[in-house]
Chain A
Amino acid sequence: MSTLITWLRDPNPASRLQSKLGQSYLSWLRLRRNPLAMIGLTISLALVLMALFAPLLAPHDPIAQELSRRLLPPGTAGNWLGTDDFGRDILSRIIFGSRITLYIVLLVILTAPVVGLIIGTIAGYFGGWTDEILMRITDIFLAFPKLILALALVAVLGPGMENAVLAIALTSWPPYARVARAETLTVRNSDYIAAVKLQGAGAARVIWGHVMPMCLPSVIIRVTLDMAGVILTAAGLGFLGLGVQPPLPEWGLMISAGRKFLFEQWWVATMPGLAIFIVSLGFNLLGDGLRDVLDPRSTSK
């Protein structure tokens, strides 16, 4: 183990891989010093684990109805977080719901930032009319209130998880395009880009191989900060009945279903919301911590 660490800390790395890994290791050490970020990381990891091992962790089937055990309060033996109006165990539903949440988040962060990165770098690199047009389009999407646009889209396309993901992704890409464009503009005129161009690299190669990697840190930071927002928007859509459809245990949907019993059986609506809150908080803490580590310009100390 310690030989690995010495290798990572080597001030004269022998290969690119070693240098990159070494840098990541140093960043990791700095992140580790931030207790809140560590809490965030723990929560995020817990979410992933919960989603992966849901069938093993959940005490009950999340969809099976047991009408003799309706609306039991939390603390009941076997139903630690209580049951809903169909007798389904809330804890199990939350655990399985983490799969849906994770799925949505993953799909969005694999699409929106990529699209935004491509558009932003192309706009920034080519400038001129390309830039104007692409940025106008970006501005139009930015000018839209995100949730409303997602609402309208899902309303039109019909409710469902894939449509919800599409709607969220469509409203999330503009900030990435802006960030990528800003980075590209800074990098575009530097000497090493000129050097690569002089070696005969075409535009595609320059952008893909040299400009985009420079934009990655900023984009990554934005992604971690956005993840909580994605979760909240997805929950909002679920709450309005526009996302995942029942009987799937999506957290927002569960809250909406629990509204009827708010005053007497408060746990049906409260517990899923608590899950959303904790997970969002975790991603936010992690995002803040990552930003402190990766972007020294930010002042949050």
Chain B
Amino acid sequence: MEPASLPAEPSRLARLLRQLGATAFSLFITFIGLLAVTFVISRVVPIDPVTSILGNRASQAQIDDAREALGLNDPTYMQFGIYLRDTLRGDLGTSIRTREPVLKEVGQRFPATLELATLATLLGVLIGLPAGVIAATRPGSLYDQAVRLIGLMGYSMPVFWLGLIGLLLFYGTLGWVGGPGRLDAVYQMSYDFEVTQYTGMIMLDTALNGRWDMFANAFSHIILPAGILAYISMAYISRMTRSFMMNELGQEYITTARVKGMPERRVVWVHALKNVMVPLITVIALSYAYLLEGAVLTETIFAWPGLGSYITDALQVADMPAVLGGTVVVGVAYIGLNMLSDLLYRLVDPRART
């Protein structure tokens, strides 16, 4: 009888790189498509870009010159090509309102949104994941129904309304948290001068600088908006975790683990959870992306100087380059997150590697 042995091991690294390459290419195409959409949008603008720069009293000759200089007389595909080239070089145009390069402004505002979304996702996972796991192990129980209901409510609430209620309750009535903005006005001044900004994220920077008084103040300001967004995130994560976990608990390998005499705690939190993490990684990345959207609406309420409020402020004054530039950046972040989740999925699931 022939004893058994393993087949020859394939070059995992090569395969992984090739798959990543394919994904990256596909995402790049999507990126081009995204730019195509924003390009089309920017050309549909009823506001004539020339008049917005030159004003209404420009002579015909001046208008013609300006049109030539702006490249508006070139065929559309050439304009798109220029637009593509500029964007890929990082030139997102100039804000009509402030006359600053959009990219620079976006770069200044992005870390604030990043800080908010990251903290919110962290909280969402920290609470949502265990909630979903425990709900899955007791299907139909009161706990399960409570988790599902709380999750469902999170799906159904307008996030900006929740933000307002939160502000009313926790700031206006109870005074437990700091108000709008990232820091109290008192600290804002000293922050700009005294703290070396490594990341642009106030919590990290103040901690790295050892300024714990500012850290505490920043925390009191971020906790409410982050908490609101975390609730939305937690609703989604707990729901998906529960669904995945229930699916895994019905699998045969769970029986095997029990047959080996493993305690139920280990069966659920080690055996099942490891399998749940595989699709859950994608869910978490998706929820992060979803929070970027939620930030657009919540930032205005909390006067949070992030990308979301940048876009909405620009909207109010019809500053189209700023709006579209911000849209492109958020779109890129979205695409980046998709790619990241794909990458993580391949790393976490051993079956995806071959």
**Which residues in A have some Cβ–Cβ distance to B below 8 Å?**
136-137, 139-141, 143-149, 151-153, 155-158, 228, 232, 235-236, 239-242, 252, 255, 259, 262-263, 266, 269-270, 273, 276-277, 280-281, 283-285, 288, 299-301
Contact = CB atoms under 8 A, between A and B. Distances in A.
B265 to A, nearest CB: 23
B331 A239 contact: no
Given A145-B330, A152-B38, A270-B165, A236 B160 contact: yes
Nearest to B290: A145
Contacts of B315: 151, 155, 240, 242
B317 to A, nearest CB: 11
A256 to B, nearest CB: 8
Contacts of A156: 41-42, 44-46, 320
A137 B172 contact: no
12 contacts: A139-B30, A144-B331, A158-B46, A228-B156, A232-B156, A232-B158, A239-B158, A240-B312, A240-B315, A255-B161, A277-B161, A299-B243
Nearest to B300: A240
Contact of B243 (A147, A236, A269, A300): A300
Interface string B137-167: 0011000000010001101111111101101
Chain A facing B: main interface SS? helix
A262 B330 contact: no
Given A262-B172, A300-B243, A276 B158 contact: yes
Contacts of A262: 164, 167-168, 172
Q: Which of A147, A242, A284 has the most CB of B within 10 A?
A: A147
Contacts of A270: 161, 164-165, 168
A260 B172 CA distance: 13
A170 to B, nearest CB: 10
Contact of B327 (A148, A259, A284, A285): A148
Contacts of A299: 243, 246-247
Contacts of A147: 293, 296-297
Interface of B: 26, 29-30, 33-34, 36-38, 41-42, 44-46, 139-140, 148, 152-153, 155-162, 164-165, 167-168, 172, 243, 246-247, 289, 292-293, 296-297, 300-301, 311-312, 315-316, 318, 320, 323-324, 326-327, 330-331, 334-335, 338
A160 to B, nearest CB: 13
Given A143-B335, A144-B37, A147-B297, A273 B164 contact: yes
Given A140-B33, A148-B311, A158-B46, A273 B158 contact: yes
B348 to A, nearest CB: 22
Contacts of B41: 152-153, 156
Nearest to A152: B327
B26 to A, nearest CB: 8
Given A155-B320, A232-B159, A280-B155, 16 more contacts: A137-B33, A139-B30, A140-B33, A140-B36, A147-B296, A147-B297, A149-B327, A152-B323, A156-B42, A156-B44, A156-B320, A232-B156, A235-B158, A236-B160, A241-B316, A277-B158
List the 10 closest pairs (A to B, CB-CB), nearest first: A273-B161, A140-B33, A280-B156, A281-B156, A263-B172, A147-B293, A145-B293, A152-B327, A143-B30, A235-B158
Contacts of B164: 255, 259, 262, 269-270, 273
B172 A276 contact: no
Contacts of B316: 241
Given A151-B296, A285-B152, A140 B34 contact: yes
Contact of A276 (B161, B165, B243, B323): B161
B157 A143 contact: no
B323 A255 contact: no
Contacts of A228: 155-156
B318 A155 contact: yes
A137 B45 CA distance: 22
B34 A143 contact: yes
A120 to B, nearest CB: 18
A239 B160 contact: yes
A255 B161 CA distance: 7
Given A140-B30, A143-B338, A301-B140, A148 B165 contact: no
Contacts of B46: 156, 158
Contacts of B312: 151, 240
A140 B37 contact: yes
Nearest to B140: A301
Nearest to A170: B37
Contacts of B156: 228, 232, 277, 280-281, 283-284
A263 B324 contact: no
A50 B321 CA distance: 42
A284 to B, nearest CB: 5
Contacts of B30: 136, 139-140, 143
B297 A136 contact: no
Max chain A C-beta neighbours (<10 A), residue from B159, B161, B320: B161
From A152, A240, A242, A285, residue with most partner B Cβ within 10 Å:
A152
A239 B297 contact: yes
A280 B160 contact: no
A148 B33 contact: no
B301 A284 contact: no
Contacts of B320: 155-156
